[in-house]
Amino acid sequence: MSNATPGPILEARDLVKKFGDFVAVKGVSFAIERGESFGFLGPNGAGKTSTMRMISAVSKPTSGSLSILGLNPLTDGPEIRGRLGVVPQEDTLELELSVRLNLEMFGRYFDIPRQVLRERANELLEFTQLAERANDKVDDLSGGMKRRLTIARALMNQPELLILDEPTTGLDPQARHLLWERLYRLKREGVTLIITTHYMDEAEQLCDRLVVMDHGSIVAEGPPRDLIAQHSTREVVELRFDVESHDDVDLPLSNFAQRVEVLPDRILLYVDEGDNTLRELHTAGIVPASALVRRSSLEDVFLRLTGRTLVD
Amino acid sequence: MSLSPTVKAGAPAWLRSWHYHATYYAQTWRGSLASNILFPIFFLASLGVGVGHLVTAHTGVVQGQTYLHFIAPSILATTTMQLGEGESLWPVLAAVKWIRSYHAAAATPLEPEDILFGKLSWVVTRAFVTGIIYTIVIGSFGALESWWSLTLPFIGALIALAFSAPLVAFAARSQSDAPFSVIYRFAFVPMFLFSATFYPISAYPDYLRPLVQLVPLYHGVALARAAAYGNASIGPVLCHVAVLAVMAALGIAWGRRTMRRRLVD
């Protein structure tokens, strides 16, 4: 897409957002390159949505500096928003109106002429596989279809930067994969993507690079693989014992792993070779009710960095 | 996706918001248009002609008018007030809280003021069209006596704006619709009944009259009557216009604050 300016497409320095006494975002800094797919991973309440609203040039930062598309959101808000696409957490669609009309009415906000609106709506209905539902009421669509329509709507102005806040929350696995696939295609076409999510698999799948947020601060930054390599072991052994609380398990598990995390419903052993560890446990006479070996994920990175799980 | 050339239609931002409301209404107008035409006919037929018979038999004319002619302008005034109210409370709360369509609009080049002005200009448009329809219906009952009647649609638009602007501002800062039915029951229904709508203000005892004159709708009703008969003096007319214009102006100023706070802070 055109209007390429040199330097990052978005740059934030010491960004702070306060609501009265509550500090939602506590001085975050990051830079996003053109064509990149950048993620904000963190639990609910980490400050992701407040950050999103600031980088959408909607809400004003309390302090810090922010440059979007080389412009200043404090003075060039309308121009910036004209070149962004925003997929909010809630779909905010007009349920009583048709799928097509939802696109065309929204496109009007960008001052797009009627003729062009019609063409773009057709293209985007094809792209999001909603062409057959074009004349149906939005109310009759499934959750996944509504989500795709919200994405189509955000693309009506052919944005250079697409910002998605929790794009697949509440969708079933099939709908999620279809949506991810569409987002890959946009990325291949050169659209810069910014995604917030509290699903680690989504972050791993979609993001070239991400920051992990917690309590309004960035606690780690990098490509998903690097973060995992840096903050976790290669594999994880999940053990469940037949007990009320796993805090009560009194076994010398730390002898078998580089690190042990005790969660209410399971115990995690951080190791390099999970199968070897399982054998060693058996030999030592430790027999859990169930055991599972898996690769380390961003969930483990988050647990390591914050001592808490992403999804409660 | 092929890239279409970037062309602008050249519409100011508030007009794009107006267009959104107009397009929405174009999908759902049928029911409201029917009631727009039938409501005044029913009202004038039942109250104006029906009750009018009794009034004529008992008291003759009211302020020099037949009862039908007396209440016809007030029906235009009360209807545009109700239109301003109906467009403003629940639909605005839905747009900022339930459906969040104003939040979606705030993510586009539109500023909160554009969204507000688009909404209010749409209310004014609807009230103006309603005013034209009512003027024609009232005229067909023979209740218009002056060329000043041609200003009735503008008066209807002013009344709707005077009520809509503060209510939009209030709804934009609301977290629930609980206060709305209180406003409706304890402000709008009494205003509808007691603003010298169905009888002249002289029916009130002296000490109550200044109180009635504080009620905003009273000024709308009086203004509509002045236009229909064309016999009012300039002083009171300017006073009525000023009351409604000040309400609108204060409502707009308040709305700019509440919309901005709700949508972008």
The list of chain A residues with pLDDT below 70 reads 1-6, 311-312
What is the rounded CA–CA span in Å between residue A300 and residue A232?
7
A173-188 in b/e form (b: 16+ CB < 10 A) is eebbebbbebbeebbe
- pLDDT recorded at residue B48: 84
Would you give the distance in Å from CA B51 to the centre of its chain? 26
Measured in angstroms, the CA of A82 and the nearest CA of chain B are apart by 5
- pLDDT recorded at residue A312: 55
- With vertex at residue B204, the alpha carbon angle to CA B201 and CA B206, rounded to the nearest 5 degrees, is 100
The CA dihedral of B48, B49, B53, B58, to the nearest 10 degrees, is 10
The dihedral region occupied by B10, where left means phi > 0, alpha psi between -120 and 50, and beta the remainder, is left
What is the rounded CA–CA span in Å between residue B13 and residue B8?
12
Of B1, B100, B106, the CB nearest to A58: B106
- Three-state DSSP state, A193: strand
| Residues of each domain in chain A carrying CATH 3.30.70 | 233-295
- pLDDT recorded at residue A6: 66
Of B24, B109, B265, the CB nearest to A97: B24
Of B4, B20, B107, the CB nearest to A58: B107
Task: Kindly determine whether residue B1 and residue A127, on different chains, have CB atoms separated by under 8 Å.
Answer: yes
The H helix count followed by the E strand count for chain B is 12, 0
User: Percent of chain B beyond pLDDT 70?
Assistant: 97
Domain A10-228 has CATH 3.30.365.10: no
Which chain A residues are Cβ-neighbours of B6 within 8 angstroms?
158
| Residues of each domain in chain A carrying CATH 3.40.50.300 | 10-228
Interface pTM, i.e. ipTM: 0.88
- pLDDT recorded at residue A19: 93
Domain ranges of chain B: 72-264
Q: Tell me the pLDDT of chain B (265 aa) as tens digits.
A: 444 446 688 899 999 999 999 999 998 887 777 777 788 888 888 888 888 888 888 888 888 889 999 999 999 999 999 999 999 999 999 999 999 999 999 999 999 999 999 999 999 999 999 999 999 999 998 889 899 999 999 999 999 999 999 999 999 999 999 999 999 999 999 898 889 888 899 889 999 999 899 899 999 999 999 999 998 899 999 999 999 999 999 999 999 999 999 999 8
- pLDDT recorded at residue B63: 85
Using one digit for the tens of pLDDT, what is the confidence trace for A215-236? 999 999 999 999 999 999 999 9
Task: Kindly determine whether residue A58 and residue B100, on different chains, have CB atoms separated by under 8 Å.
Answer: no
Which chain B residues are Cβ-neighbours of A54 within 8 angstroms?
none
Q: Do residues A159 and A84 touch, judged by C-beta distance below 8 A?
A: yes
Task: Kindly determine whether residue B109 and residue A158, on different chains, have CB atoms separated by under 8 Å.
Answer: no
What is the rounded CA–CA span in Å between residue B113 and residue B263?
10
Task: Kindly determine whether residue B3 and residue A1, on different chains, have CB atoms separated by under 8 Å.
Answer: yes
- pLDDT recorded at residue A4: 53
* Neighbouring C-alpha atoms within 13 Å toward the C-beta of B222: 27
- Three-state DSSP state, A17: strand
Interface with chain B: mutation pick from A18, A75, A92, highest number of B CBs within 10 Å = A92
The pair of three-digit structure tokens given for residue B127, joined into one six-digit string: 């009230």
Domain A233-295 top-level CATH class: alpha beta
Reported as type and span, the H/E element at residue B144 is none
Using one digit for the tens of pLDDT, what is the confidence trace for A57-85? 999 999 999 999 999 999 999 999 999 99
